[in-house]
Structure formats: structure tokens, C-alpha cells
Amino acid sequence: MFEFIAPLFLALQKATGLNFSPFYNEYDFSRLMTGVQTSLLLIVCVLIVSLIVGLLGAAAQRSQFRVLRFLVAAYIAMFRNTPPVVQLLFFYFGLGALTPQVDMGGWYEPMISSFGWAVIALGIFGGSYNVEIFRAGIEAVPGTTLEASEALAFSPVQTFIHVTMPLALRFSLPALASNLISLAKTTSIAYVIAVPEMTYALSGVWNDSLNVGEMMMLLFIYYISVVAVIGAIMGRLEKRLAVPGLGK
Amino acid sequence: MTIMKALIATAAFVSSFATAPAFAQDNSAETLTSVMERGVLRVGVLGAFKPWSFRSEDGSLQGIEVDLAKRVAESLGVEAELVEITSANRIQFLEQKRIDLIIGGMYDTASRREAVGIIEPGYWASGPSLMARNGAIASWEDVAGKPICAKQGVIYNQLIETDFGARLMAFGGNTEGKEALRSGKCVAWFYDDSSIAADLATGDWEGFEMPVDALFVNPWAAAVPLAEKDGAFGKILSGLIYGWHEDGSLIALQKEYDLQPTAWLADMHESLEYDRSYLDE
């Protein structure tokens, strides 16, 4: 594959001056590949963590324990009102200094890598929005529906699992889709703690080859493609789960 | 931040076509004449570049490069006026004749030689080296497979991956990179040996060392306007700097400012030291 495209891009550079070094320089190609893999893995992990945090947070918000409800409210206030870059640096340099070191056979490395901290920090950041999105979905379920299920002798737990949850999920989907897309884009800031994702990889390339414009273009295309895929998945999910007449 | 830098670099690159210096003879005596008439030599120094040039507690500029600037003025019998420059504007300052001379931590590179009159020999030199906890690293080969911190956008970063198989972790700034080393996120900090030596000299890095010699050394050169390189002014500077190597005064400055001795200065001294043995009968 690389052997096949390399001459094409070398010819392109000769003809037009456009320097797409990752497609003909082997070192830059390896950087690009690491960047794509790390970035995709980071996006998947962050989205999953944020969904789990969102569901747990929304459940805790409905708890009868006042302390738990207060903690969730404090968490949301803290993580929605501070910039994600600051959170990332806080987790990596602040909390990261307190985590134990692991012996790697002669040298030490922190137990949680920069990738690990990026998943934790961005997952928690995105989760704080998801909590509110799920809460809004739950609150959108009409009271009359809940009364109807009560009249059918459903217990509160049964009502939540069989009636509230399925409807709340459908109400949440549009807002959830836009938050997940925004979160996927936010993973690009992980480069400040040296996670070798796309932005980090390509900024390394353009620093060495001074092909800033071309690499920015590549980065742009990459994120548009990723966002398009996430958007398509969420759109399909919405269509599949659509209940005729719901929300009309 | 690196993105900003890249944009600025592109802008500078593009604008360099617009302001390419006109072809001029390179042995003009204009600067020397105007310095002598004015009685003042205007030298550009960085100003926030300890210990080469920095503001002391009383507000005056001090440091190795400041001392060198004063020596040049003294040799010419004029006053030295220190002008603070940055690495982004120093070449423009010189081209616009706002300063007569740059002594400001500038690497001698092929592209700079096209813009300014680089004076040979260089008066200092630095290159990529490592800072690590005492005993953690013994040689360059030791970095294989280990995480090494660095700064994003440094031109030699890829060497440590391609030549030594290290895992590079590049951060946006020096402070983050060095903090990552301090908190154990990597086994070494990969950066200029002169900067590492200066960090070690501050005493804030107890328990750390520079265990290896620089991979290569790039001289730092003084610069005059391109047209003066082979003129009287350029030749006087060349001679002065040669003399500082020859008589060991650069090595003396290194000692005075508590910097670790570097092989480059020692080698320059040795190779340029004039053999006067024939005088002993």
C-alpha cells in the first residue's frame, strides 16, 4: 500500500509543491498511523466512559440520599464550568504526581499513562454533560404515562426499567449525539499531555517538514470523517429506535 | 502553542520572499564608521536568557553575552548600548539598522547565513542532550524503549526515536516537559545541553544530572548586517571571538557563571590556542 502511494505523492510534490510527507516518508507514515490508531482508540474509550458516567450520574441524581444528589450536582458544576484543557493538565500533572510508579525492569513508569489520564479526564468531562442530557430525557417522560404504568400495577423499579428508561433514551438521543460529536473533537486537546493522537502526530510532521497547510488540511479531513461516522451511527440508532407518534 | 508557532513560521517564510535583502557587497564599512562617529555600539541581546543575558536584581542587564558585548565596545573604544531583542525579531532589528550587532543565543544555520552576516568562529555551542535522575541513564543507548520527555517543535526530536528507539513524549513547553520528568512520567528530558546545564546550575534540580554528551553541537554565532560580514566590522569581530577562544576567556566566563564545562569550548580553545613554543629557546 505504502509502496504504491509513495511515488504518487512524490510526483504530486514535484508537480504542485504540495508536500504530503506522511504518504511518501516512512517515518512520517508511521507517525500518521500511530496518530490514527491512538486517536480512534481514544475517541472510543472516551465516549464509552462518558456514557457510563452519564448513566451512573443520572441514576444517582434520582437517589433518595441527599449527599449523593449533592455530590452529583457539585461534580456537574465543577466539570461543566472549567475548560477541558485545564482539567486534563490538572489530572495529568496534579493527580498524576500522586499515583504509584511501576517498575518496568530497571526504570519506572507511572501506573496511569498519559493516554489513561486522557480517557479519565475527557470521559469525566463529557460525562458531566451526559448526566444532564439523560436527566432531561427522564424528565421528558410524561407523568400520565407513569400514572398509566402504575395503574397497570408496575412497581417503581419495573416502571423505571420498562417504561421510563426506554422512553428517556429516545428523548435523549439528539442531544446525546451532538455531545458525543463534540467530545470526539475535544480529544484533539490530549496533545497537551503528549498523547500521540492525530493532532500531536501531524504537528510533529509539520514541525519537521514545514508543510503546515497540507497537514492542517489532512487533520481537517480526518476530523470531518470521524464526526460524519459518529453522526451516521447516531442517526441510524435514532431511526431504529423511533416509536411512531412519540414526542409529536 | 505549537500551532501558533507553525503559523508564524509560515507567515515569516512567506514574507521572507517579499523582504529578501538586495544584493549588496559584503565588505562595507558603514556600520563601523557610524559606530565610531556615534561613540555607541548597539548590541542586541535576549534579556530573558539566564545566564547568557538577564536582568539582575538592580534592573541592569547581566550575563555572559552582555559581558561579551561590553568587551566588543571596549575594544572599539565606544560605549555599549544593550538592546533587548527576541528570537523572532532579532534579524529584522539588524536589517533595519536598529542594532549594529547580535549576540543573542543564535544558532548558526544555513538559512540564517542568507539573511545576516554570521561571524566565524561561533562563541558558544550547544546541542541535544539529556537530563535524568542520577544514575538512571548512563549512555544514549540506555534510552531504547523508554519514555523520554521533550518539547514539541524542536528540530532534532525525531533523532531520539529513529536513532535510539526511545518513546518520545513531546510537550508544549519546557516547563511541562521538565515537570513531567520531575514527577516521573519519563526517564529523561531531551533538550539543549546549554539549557540543561543552566537548569542544573540553578540548584532546583538536586538529584538530577546530564549523563551524556550532546549528540552534535551547533555553534552560536554573533551576527552583523550581511553587507558587513567581510568588511572591517565583521573582521574585527571575527578576530575578537578568535581571541576569546585562544586566551581561554570564554572558558573563564563559563566557570564564572557556574556552568558545566563543555567539550566544544575546550576543543575550540585547544585547536585555536597559538603554539608559542618556538619562542622558548
pLDDT attached to residue B49: 79
pLDDT attached to residue A213: 87
CB pairs under 8 A between A and B: 67
- B25-125+218-271: CATH superfamily: Periplasmic binding protein-like II (3.40.190.10)
Structure confidence by residue, pLDDT tens digits, A119-171: 999 999 999 999 999 999 999 999 999 999 999 999 988 998 899 989 999 99
Question: What is the value of ipTM here, to two decimals?
Answer: 0.80
**Pick from A27, A101, A207: which is nearest to B6 by CB?**
A207
How far is it, in rounded angstroms, from Cα B280 to Cα B134?
47
B153 φ/ψ sector (left φ>0, alpha ψ -120 to 50, else beta): left
A137 touches chain B (CB under 8 A): no
pLDDT attached to residue A2: 83
- Residues of chain A contacting B169 with CB distance shorter than 8 Å: 114, 194
- Residues of chain B contacting A114 with CB distance shorter than 8 Å: 169, 185
Map out the domains of chain B as residue ranges: 25-125+218-271, 128-209
Which H or E element spans position B188?
strand B188-192
**Pick from B172, B179, B184: which is nearest to A110 by CB?**
B184
Report CA torsion sign: A76, A79, A83, A84: negative
How far is it, in rounded angstroms, from Cα B194 to Cα B262?
9
Q: CB of A66 within 8 A of CB of A57?
A: no
CATH value of B128-209 in 3.40.190.10, 3.40.50.2300, 3.40.50.300, 3.90.550.10: 3.40.190.10
B232 touches chain A (CB under 8 A): no
Q: Where are the beta strands (DSSP E) in B32-187?
A: 40-45, 48-49, 53-55, 61-62, 79-84, 101-102, 117-118, 124-126, 128-133, 147-151, 167-171
pLDDT attached to residue B153: 76
Please identify every stretch of chain B with a pLDDT value under 50, giving residue numbers as ranges: 1, 14-24
B159 touches chain A (CB under 8 A): no
How far is it, in rounded angstroms, from Cα A241 to Cα A237?
6
| B171/A192 touch (CB, cutoff 8 Å), yes or no | yes
Structure confidence by residue, pLDDT tens digits, B174-192: 888 999 999 999 999 999 8
| B152/A107 touch (CB, cutoff 8 Å), yes or no | no
How far is it, in rounded angstroms, from Cα A237 to Cα A239?
5
How far is it, in rounded angstroms, from Cα A46 to Cα A40?
10
pLDDT attached to residue B1: 47
User: In the predicted model, is pLDDT for residue A203 greater than 70?
Assistant: yes
Smallest CA–CA distance, residue B178 to chain A, in Å, is 11
Sheet bearing B128-133, strands edge to edge: B167-171, B147-151, B188-192, B128-133, B208-209
Query: Residues of chain A with pLDDT > 70: what percent?
Result: 99
- Residues of chain B contacting A104 with CB distance shorter than 8 Å: 146
The residue among A32, A207, A230, A35 whose CA lies nearest residue A115 is A35
How far is it, in rounded angstroms, from Cα B214 to Cα B129?
5
Structure confidence by residue, pLDDT tens digits, A6-42: 999 999 988 998 999 999 999 999 999 999 999 999 9
pLDDT attached to residue A36: 97
Q: CB of A107 within 8 A of CB of B146?
A: yes
Q: Which of A207, A209, A217 to mutate to test the interface with B (most CBs of B within 10 A)?
A: A207
B13 touches chain A (CB under 8 A): yes
Q: CB of B250 within 8 A of CB of B265?
A: yes
Chain B nearest-CA residue for A112? B185
Count CB neighbours of B248 within 10 A: 15
pLDDT attached to residue B281: 67
Place of cell 514541525: A207
DSSP 3-state percent helix, strand, coil across chain B (nearest 5): 40, 20, 40
How far is it, in rounded angstroms, from Cα A166 to Cα A138?
9
- Residues of chain A contacting B154 with CB distance shorter than 8 Å: 207
Vertex A117: Cα angle to A111 and A122 (nearest 5): 160
Smallest CA–CA distance, residue B179 to chain A, in Å, is 8
| A204/B158 touch (CB, cutoff 8 Å), yes or no | yes
Q: With 0-12 CB in 10 A as exposed, 13-18 as middle and 19+ as buried, what is B3?
A: middle
Residue B147 phi, psi (nearest 5):
-75, 130
Residue A203 phi, psi (nearest 5):
-70, -30
- Residues of chain A contacting B157 with CB distance shorter than 8 Å: 204, 207-208
| B179/A93 touch (CB, cutoff 8 Å), yes or no | yes
Contacts with A203 (C-beta within 8 Å, 6 or more apart), sequence order: A191, A215, B2, B3, B6, B152, B153
B25-125+218-271 and B128-209, same CATH topology: yes
Which one-letter DSSP state was computed for residue A164? Answer: I
Helix axes A114-140, A66-80, angle to 10 degrees: 120
**Which ranges of chain B does DSSP label H, i.e. alpha helix?**
2-18, 30-38, 64-76, 90-95, 110-113, 157-162, 174-182, 193-201, 232-246, 249-256, 263-272
Place of cell 475548560: A83
Give Cα A39 to chain centroid, integer Å: 10
Task: Please tell me whether the peptide bond between B121 and the residue prior to it is cis, using omega within 30 degrees of 0.
Answer: yes
Structure confidence by residue, pLDDT tens digits, B5-54: 555 555 555 444 444 444 445 567 889 999 999 999 999 998 877 889 98
| B10/A213 touch (CB, cutoff 8 Å), yes or no | yes
Residue B280 phi, psi (nearest 5):
-80, 115
Ranking A204-208, A217-221, B22-26, B157-161 by mean pLDDT, the lowest is B22-26
B20 touches chain A (CB under 8 A): no
Q: Which of B1, B134, B183, B187 to mutate to test the interface with A (most CBs of A within 10 A)?
A: B183
How far is it, in rounded angstroms, from Cα B39 to Cα B79?
6
How far is it, in rounded angstroms, from Cα B269 to Cα B248?
6
How far is it, in rounded angstroms, from Cα B57 to Cα B255?
21
Smallest CA–CA distance, residue A189 to chain B, in Å, is 11
A23 touches chain B (CB under 8 A): no
* Exposure of B243 in the CB half-sphere (CA atoms within 13 A): 10
User: In the predicted model, is pLDDT for residue A1 greater than 90?
Assistant: no
How far is it, in rounded angstroms, from Cα A40 to Cα A26?
21
Place of cell 440520599: A65
- A42-97+110-241: CATH superfamily: MetI-like (1.10.3720.10)
* More confident call, B81 vs A2: B81
pTM of the shown model? 0.75
Give Cα B90 to chain centroid, integer Å: 13
Q: CB of B160 within 8 A of CB of B168?
A: yes
